Structure 1
Amino acid sequence: MDARRQDDIEVKPGIFIPAQDLSESFVRASGPGGQNVNKVATAVQLRFQLAANTTLPQDVKSRLARLAGSRLTLAGEILIQADRFRTQERNREDALERLLDLVRRAFERPKPRKATRPTKGSKERRLAAKKQRGDVKKMRGRVFD
């Protein structure tokens, strides 16, 4: 583990994301904003260098890549676009909080599935329902004297 620096972001106790793994850029946001919307770049694009990160465990990184889905670029970075609010500062906080939420969810290990079999009763009920449905369909046929 690398030594923690002052500007690193704490994901959970003892786990930090180095500030150098994050970069942000500002773009013009769509949506409401009046005359200001065409002049000020309030939307934030937060990029997290997942491939270059050394502080997260490998299993967490692979789960994070799966959770990120289409937000993961070919360069191995997670791109989060935040334009919900009208100010840059609120959008920056929103983007960072969404990234941290994604990382925290990646720390949760999925519960392993236990293979189960259908009970005898459920098999019988399924077959009885199929038989009844088949009888209903049989009655729709042509009537012969």
Structure 2
Amino acid sequence: MKDFSKELSFKTSRSSGAGGQNVNKVETSVTVLWHVDESEFFNEDQKVLIQNKLRNRINAEGFLFLTVSESRTQLMNKNKAIEKILDIVDQSLFIHKKRIATKPSKGQKQKRLDNKKKLSDKKENRKFKY
């Protein structure tokens, strides 16, 4: 996990929710912004991968943004926002292995056919015979 927190910029705003009288006068909600194209921590292939996987979170100017207002303090929200954006980018860089299609073995095919034959014989024996 790369720590590119030096490239992040922050905006604050008033958050909704719990907070009592402070909620109307203190800016505790934190929005973290990161310009993907101008990052020095990632190479071009990684930037393309990030942009493709997080295209719904990146705006037209190329900024990845995330807003956090879970806590009542600005500092806790800022720390949580940094943690979340680092985690989101780290997950977007993960490349899943391609699934290799496999075929059932001869033994498995024979076992399946044997079970079908046993079940068929069992049901055949239930029939009333004259």
Q: Does TM, scored on the shorter chain, surpass 0.5?
A: yes
What does residue 95 of structure 1 align with?
Answer: 81
Q: Structure 1 pair 59/118, CA: closer, same or farther in 2 (3 Å)?
A: farther
1:46 matched to 2:27: no
Equivalent of 1:114 in 92, 100, 105? 100
The structure number with the bigger radius of gyration is 2
Instruction: Give the root-mean-square deviation of aligned CA atoms.
Output: 2.5
Matches of 2:23 and 2:104, distance apart in 1? 59
What does residue 68 of structure 1 align with?
Answer: 54
Moved over 6 A (4+): none
Equivalent of 1:28 in 6, 9, 14? 14
TM-score (norm 2): 0.70
TM-score (norm 1): 0.64
What does residue 58 of structure 1 align with?
Answer: 44
Matches of 1:69 and 1:34, distance apart in 2? 37
What is the number of equivalent residue pairs in this alignment? 110
Q: Percent identity?
A: 31
What does residue 17 of structure 1 align with?
Answer: 4
Displacement after TM superposition at 1:117 (Å) = 6.5
Q: Secondary structure of the equivalent of 2:56? A: helix
Matches of 1:62 and 1:113, distance apart in 2? 23
Structure with greater strand share of residues: 1
Unaligned runs of 5+ in 1: 1-11, 122-145
Code of the residue aligned with 2:57 in structure 1: it is R
Q: Deviations over 1:53-86 (max 9, x none)?
A: 1321233223322333422111111001000111
